[in-house]
């Protein structure tokens, strides 16, 4: 399955995939529909199908951990106990630091369908939809397109090339055509 719908392009060269799509959308050209095996809403058309890992942004934790101490009798025991305590706490501190870090966490693998009204995700266990009407902000980075919805952490979908899919989704979600520069972060 192709990520980018090929056009017989008369657009000036060289353009990024997103800029080329924006050019064609301004000319009134839409991508060819993609046939799917699930029900679409009235006037909804699928414009792309991709496979990938869906990620969700996890805020950092509090960074706490349980300090462990070991002690033995005598001066030698105190030295050995201190060394053992330090060694045990290094792992606890490192684990707490990992939990404290903000990060993208993979939540599902699946097939991603980009339509004119939503992004539908078919994972190995279930289906879920990101309806454009529910999206508060759409962004992108080198890893994919990021959807911010009200009441939940952002989702990132591995839609590549990211500038192409950002232009496509913004066209259908917001009704405007944007010139998306290549993702830099």
CA 85/CA 67 separation, integer angstroms? 8
Within this chain, do residues 37 and 25 fall inside the same structural domain, yes or no?
yes
Q: Which domain holds residue 112?
A: 17-59+103-174
CATH no. for residue 149? Answer: 2.30.29.30
Q: Nearest 5°: CA angle at 36, between 38 and 178?
A: 110
Within this chain, do residues 88 and 147 fall inside the same structural domain, yes or no?
no
The model's pLDDT over 65-84, given as tens digits with 9 standing for 90+, comes to 455 655 555 655 555 555 66
pLDDT tier for residue 148 given thresholds of 50, 70 and 90: very high
Residue 133 domain-assigned (yes or no): yes
Question: Which residue among 44, 76, 101 closes a domain?
Answer: 101
Question: Which residue among 101, 116, 131 closes a domain?
Answer: 101
162 within 8 A of 140, measured Cβ to Cβ? yes
| Average pLDDT of every residue of the chain | 80
* Residue 3 confidence (pLDDT) above 50: no
Within this chain, do residues 39 and 96 fall inside the same structural domain, yes or no?
no
Q: What is the reported pTM?
A: 0.72
pLDDT at position 153 is: 92
Q: Which residue has the higher pLDDT, 38 or 2?
A: 38
């Amino acid at each position: 399955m192709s990520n980018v719908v090929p056009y017989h392009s008369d657009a000036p060269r060289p353009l990024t995939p997103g800029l080329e799509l924006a050019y064609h959308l301004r000319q009134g050209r839409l991508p060819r529909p993609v046939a799917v095996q699930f029900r679409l809403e009235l006037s909804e058309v699928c414009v792309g199908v991709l496979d990938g890992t869906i990620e969700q942004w996890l805020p950092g934790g509090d960074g706490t951990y349980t300090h462990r101490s070991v002690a033995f009798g005598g001066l030698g025991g105190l030295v050995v106990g201190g060394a053992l305590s330090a060694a045990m706490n290094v792992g606890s501190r490192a684990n707490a630091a990992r939990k404290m870090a903000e990060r993208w966490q993979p939540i599902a693998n699946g097939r991603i369908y980009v339509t004119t009204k939503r992004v539908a995700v078919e994972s190995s266990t279930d289906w879920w939809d990101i309806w454009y009407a529910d999206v508060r902000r759409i962004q992108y980075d080198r890893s994919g397109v990021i959807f911010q919805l009200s009441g939940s952490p952002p989702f990132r979908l591995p839609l590549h090339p990211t500038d192409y899919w950002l232009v496509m989704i913004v066209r259908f979600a917001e009704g405007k055509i944007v010139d998306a520069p290549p993702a830099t972060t």
